[in-house]
Structure 1
Amino acid sequence: MKIFNLNTFLILWSGISLIGCAAGKQQAMLNTIGSPEERPATFDALREDFNIAERDQVNLIAPDKFQQAKKYFSQAEAMKAEGQPEDEFNEKLSDARTNLDSAMAFSKSNKDRMNPLIEARQIALTSGAAETTNKDLNALEEKYLALVKDLDTRNSRADALDQITPLTQDYQDLTVKTLQAKHLGEAKNTLGIAKAEGAEDLVPKTLKETEAVIKRAGDYIAQNVNPPSMKNISQLGKEASAASTRLLRLTRETKASKALSPEDRSLNSEAVLQSSKEESARLQGIVAGSNERISKLESRTKDYSKLEQRDLQSKNIESVRELFDEEEAKVFRQGNSLIISLKKINFPVNESDIPSQSFGLLKKVQTAISSFKEPSVVVEGHTDSTGSADLNKALSTKRAEAVKEYFLSNSVISPERVETVGYGSEKPLASNKSSAGRAINRRIDVIIK
C-alpha cells in the first residue's frame, strides 16, 4: 500500500486553524465573494480574500479550486516581477479570481456539513496523532482528500456526503487512541509489569484500585475529546502513572517479604501490613480525588463551553449589527435567538414577489446567517391591515416562503433548518393609518437560533 505523504498534504492544505471571529466588515466581504463585479481581480484584493478564505477553512472544504486559484495568483506575481505586459498577468489574476470565487461558493454550500469533520480532524492533528500514529492518520488523510474531491463531483457527491459522519467518527476515535496512548501508556505498561510479577495474588486490593484509576482516566479521555479538556487529561494521566508506580513498588515489597525467614517475616509482617494499609489509603484517596476532580473538570468544561458559546454569539451579534444601516433593519437579541427585523423589504400591496431592490438587503441577511454555526432559522411574514385577516395571514405566509426560497436558492441554509410562519397584520411596527407606516408593516423578520 502506498504510504501517504503527510508533510506534502499539510503543505498543500495548510492553514489548519480553528475558525476565528472575523470582524463584521470582513464577514460581509467574505460573503460577497462570488462574482468579479463585487470583488476585483487585483493583487491586493486577492491577497486579502485568500487570507479570509483560509480563516474560513475554504482550503479544506474546496482544496482543488483553492489551490488552483493560488497557482494562478503565483504565476501572475512571477509574470509581473519579470516585467511582462499587464494584460497577460491580468489574465492570470482573472483565472485566480474565478477559481477562488468558485471555491468560496462551494465552501459556503457545504460548510455546515463539513464543520464537524474539520473540527474532528483539527483536534486529531493537534492531539499528537501526526507525531505517533502516522500510518493511521495517513489512511484518514487519504480518505479526507478523496471526500472533498468527490464533494465537488456531481456523480459522487451523494456518496461523499454519506462518508462525512463515519470519517468524523474515525478522526475522533484516532484522537482517543492517541491521547490514551500518550497519557496512559506509561501507567498501563507499569500495571502490566506489576501483574506479571504477581500483583493479582500479592496485592489484589491495590491492583483493583489502580485499575479503577486508569479506567476512569481512560473513560474521561473517551468522553472529552476537545481542546479545553487537554490540561485535565494530562493531570489524570499523571495520577494514573503515580498509582501504577505505587502498585509495582508494593508488589515487589510484598514479594520480597515472602523470601524472608519465618522469624524475619513475622517481624516484618507488621511493617508490610502497615505499608499496605498506607498505600491502600493513598490509592483510595487518589480514586476519590480523581472522581472529584473529574466531576469538577467536567463542570468546568461545560461552563467553559457555555462561556465560549456566549462570547461567540455576542461577537456574532455585533458583527451582524454592523451589516445593516439603521433604516434597513433592527437587530436585537431575544433569549438565545437573534432577531433581524427587516424594515425595507417594501412588498407591493397584495403581492409576495420580492422587489429586486431588496436583494442587496437579503444578501446581508445571508451573511448574518452564515456567521453562525449550524443555525436554525424562522422566517416570519407580516402585512399591513389592508384587507381581511384571512387574506393577510395567507399573504404574509407567501412572503415568508418567498424569502425562504431565496435563501435556499443561494445555498444559505439547508431546507430542514429553516421554517416559515405568517402573522398577517397581528404584529405591526408602525401605525397602519399612513402609507409610510403600512409600508413598514409589510416586512419580514428573520429569527436565527
Structure 2
Amino acid sequence: MKKEYLIYKLSDAVKNTCKIPQETFQEYGVKRGLRNEDGSGVLVGLTNIGNVVGYDRDKDGKLQPCAGKLFYRGYEVDDLVSPLLKEKRFGFEEIAFLLLSGELPDKEELAAFRELLNDNMPLDHRTIVHIIDLEGSNIMNILARCVLEMYTFDPNPDDISRDNLMRQSIELIAKFPTIIAYAYNIYRHSVQGQSLHIRYPKENLSIAENFLFMLKHNRYTELDARTLDLLLIIQAEHGGGNNSTFTVRVTSSTRTDTYSSIAAGIGSLKGPLHGGANIKVINMFHHLKEQIKDWKNTDEIDTYLNRMLNKEAYDNTGLIYGIGHAVYTMSDPRAVELKRLAGELATEKGRREEYDFLCLLEQEGVKSVSAFRKTKKPICANLDFYSGFIYEMIGLPQEIYTPIFAMARIVGWTAHRIEELNYDGRRIIRPAYKNIQGQKEYLPIDKR
C-alpha cells in the first residue's frame, strides 16, 4: 500500500470517527466550548486578577446587556487609563506591577520596577543566535521556541516557589519585546532582503518606546509610543477564561515549569480565532476601501455588508470581522478606548478620512449583523476592530500583530500562573468528556 494512499485512507476515516451531531451534545447536557446556552461561560474557577463584565443578571438569573467594563485587580481599566492619557505618561509597567502584585506601586516602587525590567530586556547571545537560525519562521513560533530555550539558561527552571515565579515572570515580561523585535528584523533581512539591525534596548525608555526603538530606530513619534503603550495596557489581561490564559492555568495546574506553560499559551494565542483576529479586520478594511466607492454612503455600505453576511462577497465566510464578542454586549471598553486614540493618531498621520470610514463601518456593521441574526441581544465592535488600523498607522508590519498581543498578555499569563500555583486547595484541572462510542468486539488481524 502506498504511503500517500494510507494517509488519505486514515484521513477519510476521520469523517465518521469524529462525527458527533450537535443534538448529541444537548442530549447529554454538554456545554460546547464551555459555554452555557445563554452565551455565558461555564464557571470553572475563581480569581482575584481580572474581571470581564458584559452583562448583568436580573432577579430571575437572566442575562441583561450592559455597557462593557474591564477590571484589573478591582480597578476599572478606564480609571487606570484616563490619568495616564491626561498626564501623557507611559503606564504599561505600572499596570504590570499591579497585575503581578495586586497593588498599585508608589513612585519609588515604580522606578525600581522599571529599572528591573530594563535590566532584563537584553537577550543572552545564545538566544540571539537561535533567533538568527530560525530566520523566516513564523514569529509566534520563534517566540515560543525562545521561551522554551530560556529554560536551559535558568538556574532554577522547575522551582515553583513564589520568589522564583516572580523572578521568571519579570524576565519574561522584559524579554518578550526584545525577542519579537529581533525576530522581525531578522525576518525582514532574510525574507525581504533589507538591512539587518540589532539594537540594544535603552535604559531610559519605556517598554513601548524601547520596542519601537529596537524595531524602527528613531522613526516613530511620541503619539505612536503612547498609543502602543495603551494597546499593551488594555491587552495585558482579560480574565481567566480566555483561551490562552486558561491554557496557561491548565498547564500550570500540573506544576510544569513556567516556560512550558507560557509556550502553551503562545500556541493558543497564535490561533486566528484568538490572537490573529486583528489581521482579519485590517485585511477586510483594505478590501472594503477598494470595493465601496463612496465611503460616506450608508446604503452602499449596507448593501455590501449584507452580501458579505450572505457569503456572496469578500472571503465568503459570512463574517464581518471585528463585530461581536463572546462576553461584551453593548460595548467593548477596550474598543471604546482604542477608537478615541485611533482618531487622534489618524489626525496626526493624515488618515482621518479612513478613520471616519472605519467608524461608519462599525456603525453599519453592528446594525447589519444584528438584523441578519435577528437577535435582540446587543452586538458591539470588539478590540480587534481598531487595533489593526492603529498598528498600521504606527507603521508596524502584520507579521508582528499577534506577537504584540503576546507581548501584552504575558503579564496576565504570569499573574494567573502565580495565582494558580498559590491558592488554597489547588488541584490539577481535569474536566470530563462523555464517551458515546459503543463497545466493539475485537477481531483478530486475519479476520479484518
Q: Give the TM interval when normalised to the shorter protein.
A: under 0.3
With CA pairs under 8 Å and 6+ residues apart, which has the higher RCO, 1 or 2? 2
Name the TM-score, length of structure 2 as normaliser.
0.22
Q: Which one has a bigger Cα radius of gyration?
A: 1
What is the TM-score with the length of structure 1 in the denominator?
A: 0.22
